[in-house]
């Protein structure tokens, strides 16, 4: 049956007319070797096809070579969906992915943390190019490939260098989703098998609240006042990270280690400012635990104060969350100037310049017209006017992100905060959280990839 791309007017027709009626039969896949609407944790695949029949349906290191097929609306730009396809292939250890909107067909191959585009044609050319597609992802072709799937599985701890990496999450504009990014990125990286330390160095203590460390209702029960991030900075010869950390048992699974903050950081800042050594104490204390953690995430204050300086001095990488609105954008030159100032101090210490991973679009509206017309222009502004790199991942503004942070538990007559990461929330069969969980897993993939590139 010939394929006519003009008959694909929406995503459903791309799925039915291009993939189901044309591509899968042409590539030799029978109904017992492909599956539609496959849900694996927070991942939802349009199509997953196997080189051999799989009964019962299992996806693991011993599965036969397989291909993911993703269909998009004909008006969708496929470039916007590559990060998510990368996440699918790397998370599920699937070697090939086909991405199409009916007008264009692309095939990607997984190479460690990245994808390589190995085939591309227009929808009108698909019939003349079908043999090339068969050679790549046809059922017979995959059956003959000699590379076992389990050799493609990534082990982050062995593939990455074994040195600890520290990432600051910073913008001097508040309300851009900084804490939401920090805590859920940490959770997503932890889910991927990394050991993660999360540091809250903001006097608002939002990360401390968000990870469920405020387990008291009255001042006299406050057990954070005397053991928080301030105590790491006040002296160099005592109060080390193992003495200060708290374990966020219920926030995420696996758990995270957290260095909490406290509102008393505000009144302590003047004292620390007079002590020149306080600016480098976080660096030296992180050095003592570099074999204990793969990644450190630091949530910073939305200011240019001492605590922001301490965080950026200690970090190897910087993520700048932004809603891309004018007020946030107007703060970007200040961020760049602050980073330049920090880099001068780092140079004196023989410490390399902080690497800017990019501006991360966060708290972005899901309105279809906004995403089609306004959002692309907002992204272009970051690159063209502010000359800053832009991250591929996007964190959308979804009510579930506040919902999972505002969970509570009642003990006796008192109600206590019991927040969850969106990663854990999605795993608790909260289907409305799966989309947000996926976005942070895509972000985690990009972060791991960029750390490899910088190395």
More confident residue, 155 or 392: 392
Look at residue 131 and tell me whether its pLDDT is greater than 80.
Answer: yes
Q: Length of the chain, please? A: 455
Cα angle vertex 146, ends 144, 150, to 5°? 120
**What are the CA-CA distances from residue 124 to residues 3, 7, 295, 331 (Å)?**
8, 11, 47, 46
Look at residue 144 and tell me whether its pLDDT is greater than 80.
Answer: no
- The fraction of the chain above a pLDDT of 90, given in percent, is 61
Look at residue 149 and tell me whether its pLDDT is greater than 50.
Answer: no
Could you tell me the CATH superfamily of domain 156-454?
A: P-loop containing nucleotide triphosphate hydrolases (3.40.50.300)
pLDDT at position 154, please?
Answer: 42
Look at residue 453 and tell me whether its pLDDT is greater than 90.
Answer: no
pLDDT at position 217, please?
Answer: 65
Burial class (CB in 10 A: 0-12, 13-18, 19+), 315: buried
Contacts for 39 with CB less than 8 Å, ≥ 6 apart: 45
**Highest CATH level, class, for 5-152:** alpha beta
pTM for the full predicted model: 0.79
* CATH 3.90.1570.30 domain range(s) in the chain: 5-152
What does pLDDT average to over the chain? Answer: 88
pLDDT at position 155, please?
Answer: 43
User: Parallel, antiparallel, or unpaired for β 165-169 and 317-322?
Assistant: parallel
212 — pLDDT class (breaks 50, 70, 90)? confident
Look at residue 127 and tell me whether its pLDDT is greater than 80.
Answer: yes
Q: Which of 122-131, 217-226, 417-426 has the lowest mean pLDDT?
A: 217-226
Look at residue 84 and tell me whether its pLDDT is greater than 90.
Answer: no
pLDDT at position 51, please?
Answer: 80
pLDDT at position 57, please?
Answer: 55
pLDDT at position 190, please?
Answer: 94
* CATH 3.40.50.300 domain range(s) in the chain: 156-454
pLDDT at position 120, please?
Answer: 95
pLDDT at position 223, please?
Answer: 77
């Amino acid at each position: 049956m010939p394929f006519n791309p003009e008959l694909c007017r929406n995503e459903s027709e791309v799925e039915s007319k291009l993939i189901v009626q044309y591509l899968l039969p042409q590539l030799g896949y029978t109904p017992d070797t492909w599956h539609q609407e496959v849900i694996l944790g927070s991942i939802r695949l349009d199509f997953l096809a196997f080189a051999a029949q799989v009964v019962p349906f299992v996806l693991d290191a011993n599965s036969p070579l397989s291909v993911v097929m993703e269909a998009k609306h004909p008006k969708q730009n496929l470039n916007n969906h590559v990060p998510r396809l990368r996440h699918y292939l790397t998370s599920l250890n699937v070697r090939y992915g086909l991405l199409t909107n009916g007008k264009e067909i692309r095939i990607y191959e997984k190479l460690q943390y990245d994808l390589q585009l190995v085939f591309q044609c227009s929808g009108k050319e698909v019939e003349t190019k079908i043999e090339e597609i068969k050679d790549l992802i046809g059922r017979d072709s995959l059956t003959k490939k000699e590379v076992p799937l389990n050799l493609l599985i990534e082990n982050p701890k062995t593939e990455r260098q074994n040195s600890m990496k520290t990432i600051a999450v910073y913008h001097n504009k508040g309300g851009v989703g900084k804490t939401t990014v920090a805590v859920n990125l940490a959770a997503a990286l932890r889910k991927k098998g990394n050991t993660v330390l999360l540091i809250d160095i903001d006097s608002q203590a939002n990360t401390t609240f968000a990870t469920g460390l405020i387990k008291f209702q009255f001042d006299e029960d406050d057990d954070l006042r005397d053991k928080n991030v301030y105590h790491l900075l006040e002296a160099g010869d005592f109060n080390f990270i193992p003495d200060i950390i708290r374990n966020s048992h219920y926030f995420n699974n696996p758990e995270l280690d957290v260095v909490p903050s406290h509102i008393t950081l505000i009144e302590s800042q003047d004292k620390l400012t007079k002590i020149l050594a306080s600016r480098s104490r976080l660096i030296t204390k992180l050095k003592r635990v570099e074999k204990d953690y793969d990644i450190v995430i630091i949530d910073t204050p939305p200011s240019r104060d001492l605590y922001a300086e301490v965080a950026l001095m200690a970090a190897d990488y910087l993520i700048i969350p932004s809603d891309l609105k004018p007020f946030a954008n107007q703060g970007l030159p200040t961020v760049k100037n602050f980073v330049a100032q920090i880099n001068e101090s780092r140079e004196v210490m023989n410490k390399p310049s902080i690497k800017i991973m990019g501006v991360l679009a966060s708290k972005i509206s899901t309105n279809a017209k906004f995403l089609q017309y306004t959002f692309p222009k907002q992204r272009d502004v970051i690159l063209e006017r502010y000359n800053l790199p832009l991250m591929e991942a996007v964190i959308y503004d979804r009510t579930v992100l506040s919902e999972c942070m505002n969970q509570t538990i009642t003990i006796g007559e008192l109600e206590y905060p019991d927040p969850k990461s969106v990663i854990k929330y999605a795993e608790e069969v909260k289907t409305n959280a799966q989309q947000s969980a996926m976005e942070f897993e895509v972000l985690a993939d990009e972060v791991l990839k960029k750390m490899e590139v910088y190395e």
